[in-house]
Structure 1
Amino acid sequence: MGPSRRKFLKQTGLAGAALTISQAKECLADPPAGEGPMPKAVLPRRHPIGVSTYSFWQFRGERLGIPACIDKAAAMGFDGVEILHVQMQDESNAALQAIKRQAHSLGLALMGLSTHQGFVSPDPELRRTNVQKSLYQIDLAYRLGIPTMRINTGRWGTIKSFDDLMARKGIEPPLEGHTEDEAFGWVIDSIEKLLPRAEECGVVLGLENHWGLGRTAEGVLRIVEAIKSPWLAMTLDTGNFLEEPYEQMGRMAAGAVPIALVQTKTYFGGGRWYSLDLDYARIATLLREDGYQGWISLEFEGNEDPATGVPKSLELLRKHFS
């Protein structure tokens, strides 16, 4: 090493090191007499980022199996996988344990199960059937070692086509002769029947802002705050608020009930039903300020090939949530 380089290190690196050591000694020194212990510095935590298997399929073409999605997620550099239940091709215990083994061998967490059910119906037998379906799904999450499961309120079904529903921004009229207040009672009663099993299995239910009575933050909060259970939280989907998205996300994040999982939509290549120009710097700040430290799950909903659109989405999320 030449003399000029040594001189430079002395003037910069060593001086900086001395300053760092001096600061460290100050932090480790005993507090002044009469004062309590000095508070420990809290380092910011990195959000782990997973991907929903929906991102690789989007209900288009032949149903892509979960093992193939896990391989893709690992190759692209994700931390975990959220499984879309309707995408599962084999629900035998042998298949479930093989999925767990595969994910573990690739260093991936199975961090979410995304399910569908509907409790918005005046027919008690139909609601009972959906309760039984959801109890079965909780058992699936338990056997997969998944800690949180997305649930929905369901919807009226008065608009038959999902494309038409999206064209109307998710708004549909109640069934003739019934009211939304009545429907909230059906949903609350049905979800309460799930909670003993959720507690037994250690699976936190996350009610999502996902059309139906959960189309707005107010609807989601009305249900979870009425139930008040540590086994019922919320799943926040950034792409499902079509009016005042940041205000509504803020209301969910600041509520008394915690968020179990954040699903993040991206639309490279244009959205299938719509595209939202979401400001993820703003969303990340909003969540951080309200204390959310959990998983971020990508739901890629763009028309671009997932082989390129999903890695672009991961890069975007890493930029703002890491």
Structure 2
Amino acid sequence: MKISVSMYSLASTIKKENWSIFEFIDYAADISLDGVELLDFYWSDGDRDKEIQHVNQALKEKGLIVSAYDVSNNFVKESAEDRRLETEKVLEGIETAKKLGTNIVRVFCGDLHGGLTYEDGQSWIVEGLQQCAGKAEEEGVYLAIENHGLLAGKSEQVKEIIGKVNSPYVGSTFDTGNFLLVHEDPLHAFNRLKEEIVHVHFKDFRKKEALEPLKGFKSTEGVELIGTVPGDGQVDLASIVKGLKETNYQGFLSIEYEGHEDAKESNEEAVRRLKKLLE
């Protein structure tokens, strides 16, 4: 298994220090990563193809590869035209992933809004992914559904969607922390999805303490969770890594830190801990 860090894991530093993708690549090389996870909303407003060329050159110089390219789509839109535009985002993401040399495109299903439920949105999600799966198969790129947010955040929902799309190139971005937001044991979720995993987000949360001023993420039952350095929260990460070894998972473990401490220091500590688990 290889280690990467999601650029989103440095979100606070990127905002504070006005980092571009290139500063992030320099940081990733400094902490001895194998790869980086890039996102669709971190490009500049200039010539995208030219920027991709420069990014590829910087990656080559630093000895890094792209572990995954993340698309921030939402198929749960009531308008057919809006859903078409979300499909276009994913199709464009497949093209960008190929240019970056990765065969993983992280995708979302959608967000809860306007009283819509998972049952309301499931057919739209499946339809959108099916419309993208053909191109993914042609290009040899996996669409890796992240258990993100409160809509399709449960392992049974992710597995059901993957089954309904029915493509060998649609799998799971297994986010170890996000299952806590839907009150599912991450290890239980792993055992359900272990055959579908093509990418992993290495993440952890803890419960917010009473009167603690920090803002967290609210679960489906209103419990507030705070992002932590992996190993300081509720996720049994050692057992999940052990399970990945047993299934002979050969992909990336990509750190995604969402806490309030210094992001650079927190990610460096996360890398140190993950390397020990992989020994």
TM-score bin (small chain): 0.7 to 0.9
After superposition, give the CA deviation of every residue in 1:239-276 in whole Å (9 maximum; x if it has no partner): 101122221122111x4xx21110101469x9862233
Contact 2:71–2:89 (CA under 8 A) maintained in structure 1: no
Q: Which structure has the bigger radius of gyration? A: 1
Aligned counterpart, 1:50: 4
**Distance in 1 separating the partners of 2:102 and 2:22:** 16
Q: Does 1:320 align with 2:261?
A: no
Q: Distance in 2 between matches of 1:110 and 1:188?
A: 27
More strand by share: 2
| Conserved 8 A contact 1:267-1:303 | no
TM-score with structure 2 setting the length: 0.84
User: Do structure 1's residue 67 and structure 2's residue 22 form an aligned pair?
Assistant: yes
Query: d(CA) in 1 for partners of 2:259 and 2:278?
Result: 20
The change in CA–CA distance for 1:198 and 1:192 in structure 2 (over 3 A counts) is: same
8 Å contact 2:176–2:204 — kept in the other structure? no
Which of 249, 254, 257 pairs up with 1:297?
A: 254
| One-letter identity of the residue aligned with 1:54 | Y
Give the match's secondary structure for 2:123. helix
Task: Give, in whole Å, the separation in 1 of the partners of 2:47 and 2:69.
Answer: 13
Q: Could you tell me which residue of structure 2 aligns to residue 226 of structure 1?
A: 164
Secondary structure of 1:57's counterpart equals helix
CA distance, structure 2, for counterparts of residue 303 and residue 319 of structure 1: 24
1:121 to 50, 73, 77: 77
Distance in 1, matches of 2:157 and 2:41, equals 25
**Residue of 120, 125, 134 corresponding to 1:187:** 125
2:93 maps to a residue whose letter is Q
RMSD (CA atoms)? 2.1
Listed as ranges, the matches of 1:159-308 within 5 Å are 173-174=115-116, 180-242=118-180, 243=183, 244-253=185-194, 255=195, 258-266=196-204, 273=216, 274-275=225-226, 276-308=233-265
Corresponding position of 1:28: none
Indicate how the Cα distance of structure 1 residues 131 and 91 shifts in structure 2: closer, same or farther if over 3 A, else same.
farther
1:147-192 residue CA offsets vs partner (Å, 9 max, x unmatched): 101000111323xxxxxxxxxxxxxx42xxxx53342111111111
1:266 touches 1:313 (CA, 8 Å); kept in 2? no
Distance 2:151 2:90 in 1: 18
Provide Cα deviations, 1:109-139, integer angstroms capped at 9, x if missing partner: 1121111111112211111111112111211
Instruction: Name the structure 2 match of 1:25.
Output: none
Q: Secondary structure at the match of 1:64?
A: coil
Matches of 1:50 and 1:186, distance apart in 2: 32
Give the gaps of 5 or more residues in structure 2.
209-213, 217-224, 227-232
Deviation by residue 1:252-302 (Cα, 9 ceiling, x = unmatched): 11x4xx21110101469x986223332221111122233322111011222
Q: Percent identity?
A: 30
Q: What is the CA–CA distance in structure 2 between the aligned matches of 1:137 and 1:190, rounded to whole Å? A: 14
Q: Look up the match of 1:77.
A: 32
Q: Structure 1: state its 5+ residue gaps.
A: 1-46, 159-172
Give the direction of change, closer, same or farther, for the CA distance of 1:272–1:283 in structure 2 (3 Å limit): farther
2:95 to 139, 159, 167: 139
Does the C-alpha gap of structure 1 residues 77 and 62 become closer, same or farther in structure 2, counting only changes over 3 Å?
A: closer
